[in-house]
Each structure stands twice: as structure tokens, then as C-alpha cells.
Amino acid sequence: MINLKQFEKQQYMSVETYRKTGEAVRTPVWFIESNGEFLFNTEETSAKVKRIRRNPAVKIAPCDMRGELKGEFISGTARFLSPEETASAKKIYANKYGLMGKLFELMGNSRKSARVFLSVKPDEGIG
């Protein structure tokens, strides 16, 4: 059983993705939890999106804004959200991150690259 309680009241999680060589790359991201899945958004052209498209196996752990771990990694599988799921995720995101989340979204909208939402579903039983 995996412990998802470690993510409660956390602002950031570290998403570990993998290069073609198998080398792990960790990135801290804002996240929300919805129905046992962990959702985050990023630029569509980011390296982590390219790595996830190639290999959806990831690990996640709670962390601080600099990526310093605050818990244990759990394995999961990443997927891209549908437009309907993205609309729902944006509302939950706005509730969790408030004004900072809205400012971040506005800044993201002014960039050339679109943002995408991804979900990480833990691979093991939830505890």
C-alpha cells in the first residue's frame, strides 16, 4: 500500500521523468489531487512533456518549491487530460492556488507555447 496522505496540504510535488538514456529528471510542480490522481500543468513544448510522451512511467513525491523532497516517491503512470478534464482541473487549481494560480495562468497564456494538464495515477493500491 502506498501512502497518499504525505501529499495532503502540500503545494508542490516532484515529478520524476526519464530521458532516452534512462536518466531521471526531477521537476517541482504545483499540483492538485482529484479522484486519486495527481494533476499538474506545464508548457506543451517542455522537455518533461516530450519525456512523458516517450515514456509515461513517472514517480512523484511531495517537495518544496526548490524540489527538496518532503516525502517518499511513489510510482505512477502519466497521461494527458481531455479538454473536458482540463476545464474541471483548472477550476480545482484556481480554488487551491487562488490569486497566484490565476496570475500564473495569465502569464502562461501570454507565452507562445500552450499549457497542457497531465494526470499521474499511482500504480499501486492506495493507502
Domain regions of the chain by residue span: 5-118
Is pLDDT of 109 > 60? no
Sheet strands side by side (includes 12-18): 24-30, 12-18, 57-63, 74-80, 115-122, 37-43, 32-34
- Residue 119: which of 33, 17, 22 has the closest Cα? 33
Residues 27-36 have pLDDT tens digits of: 999 999 998 8
DSSP-derived 3-state class of residue 19: coil
Bigger pLDDT: 113 vs 22: 22
Give Cβ neighbours of residue 67 (< 8 Å, ≥ 6 apart): 12, 14, 26, 27, 28
Predicted model pTM: 0.86
Whether the per-residue pLDDT at 108 is higher than 80: the answer is: no
Residue 8 pLDDT exceeds 60: yes
The band of 93, judged by pLDDT with boundaries at 50, 70 and 90, is: confident
Domain 5-118: top CATH class: mainly beta
